[in-house]
């Protein structure tokens, strides 16, 4: 049993970005703002539900400009993983803030996630509208035998009722 450690990676270039799995370092305001206002997949989500989803995800990755353990460090990106750490993992809520795009940060993040010792052998799944070629670089392919897969769509109204929140 490896256990899930809080780990930190530092970029080996002059830009000084770091990636950390320490949930206590995450800037939930930045994550909430992006997901609620900018994302195409969780538009309008409340801050309570963003925090709930972070708490209940086995691994959350923040990308920071500078080292959040040493300095003021701005969070510039995020991704989270839901997984049983044996066979199955789902990657979601991947984003890099617009002014930090194009520097290879999402590729760095994907390489770290897919190389995690407890995740790297699992079957990874995700959904994307237009970033297929990003994920293809890390071994993702369109679903094989899609006719054998089924999914039940999420229902915001039921989620909000379950958490006793008004939509």
Ligand X SMILES: CC(C)(COP(=O)(O)OP(=O)(O)OC[C@H]1O[C@@H](n2cnc3c(N)ncnc32)[C@H](O)[C@@H]1OP(=O)(O)O)[C@@H](O)C(=O)NCCC(=O)NCCS
Q: Work out how close the CB of 108 gets to ligand X at its nearest, in angstroms, rounded to a whole number.
A: 7
Closer of 16 and 104 to ligand X (Cβ): 104
Closer of 29 and 161 to ligand X (Cβ): 29
Q: Work out how close the CB of 102 gets to ligand X at its nearest, in angstroms, rounded to a whole number.
A: 5
Q: Work out how close the CB of 56 gets to ligand X at its nearest, in angstroms, rounded to a whole number.
A: 20
CA 67 to chain centre: 19
User: 16-41 as b/e, with b when 16 or more CB fall inside 10 Å?
Assistant: ebbbbbebebbbeebbbebbbeeeee
Closer of 153 and 162 to ligand X (Cβ): 153
How many other CB atoms sit within 10 Å of the CB of residue 45? 19
Distances (CA, A) of 150 to 29, 93, 146, 147: 34, 21, 8, 8
Which residues sit at the interface with ligand X, rule CB under 6 A? 94-96, 101-107, 128, 130-131, 133-134
Q: Work out how close the CB of 122 gets to ligand X at its nearest, in angstroms, rounded to a whole number.
A: 18
DSSP 150: -
Closer of 57 and 106 to ligand X (Cβ): 106
């Amino acid at each position: 049993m490896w256990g899930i450690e809080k780990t930190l990676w530092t970029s080996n270039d002059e830009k000084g970005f770091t990636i950390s799995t320490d949930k206590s370092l995450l800037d939930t305001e930045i994550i909430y703002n992006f997901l609620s206002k900018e994302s195409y997949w969780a538009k309008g989500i409340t801050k309570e539900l963003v925090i709930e989803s972070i708490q209940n995800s086995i691994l959350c990755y923040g990308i920071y400009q500078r080292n959040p353990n040493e300095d003021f460090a701005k969070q510039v990106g995020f991704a989270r993983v839901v997984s049983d750490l044996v066979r199955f993992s789902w990657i979601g809520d991947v984003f890099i803030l617009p002014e930090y795009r194009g520097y290879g940060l999402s590729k760095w993040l994907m390489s770290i996630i897919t190389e995690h010792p407890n995740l790297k052998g699992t079957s990874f799944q995700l959904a994307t509208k237009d970033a297929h070629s990003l994920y293809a670089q890390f071994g993702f392919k369109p679903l094989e035998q899609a006719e054998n897969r089924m999914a039940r769509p999420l229902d915001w109204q039921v989620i909000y009722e379950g958490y006793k929140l008004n939509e």
